[in-house]
Copies of this chain bind each other. A is one copy, B any other.
């Protein structure tokens, strides 16, 4: 291997990982070994590894080594995230299927709690200060690698004492169906997609590098009367998602 800069080292390793020479879950050679291979200092190799970590290809851990965390084909929402959440059961099923298809093991963590929504969510829901929500939080993982953070906020007065409080398992038909049966059928939705740096909480929950970018999708569903009865916020590391949609032109 000829003398290389940190961009070259990163590019070469990136290529090798994507080409499958380092399987997801395997451990890269230690830094001193890579340094020898590329005839570069260990500092240089470290910088290259940080770059790959920012892309989500690897996860270096002190004392343990550098694990490959690349998820080969991108997770994509064939129709659109909206459509996926529309049918809760299927959304879970779709995630499971996509992860299984690439040979990884999908897992889910679901928590349900009562909490005050952040200002942005409260505004979308038209809630005043002090009005709580039911929050359904989900964390989706592929073979232990966190891939998606998902939080659905529903006004407490709507959700209290209903099936929505069920934490375990997926609500059959999804949150939107459940809300519909409770008398709040949704007819339209608004979505806001943003690409940004992760918050500290997201860095922890998604176990990602500080320099990774995330996609933040905020989805608000409203009834025929115009009331927003559900806001779902999804955060996922940027390179995991391709969004596709079809729509009519007027």
Contact = CB atoms under 8 A, between A and B. Distances in A.
Interface stretch (A26-34, A93-101, A187-195): A187-195
Identical copies of this chain, number? 2
A195 B192 contact: no
A7 interface: yes
Majority secondary structure, A binding face: strand
Interface string A170-189: 00000010000000001111
Nearest to A176: B249
Contact of A195 (B215, B221, B244, B248): B215
A162 interface: no
13 contacts: A82-B249, A188-B247, A189-B246, A189-B248, A190-B246, A191-B247, A193-B243, A194-B242, A195-B195, A195-B213, A195-B239, A195-B241, A196-B238
Interface of A: 7, 51, 54-55, 82, 86, 176, 186-197, 210-211, 213, 215, 221, 238-239, 241-249
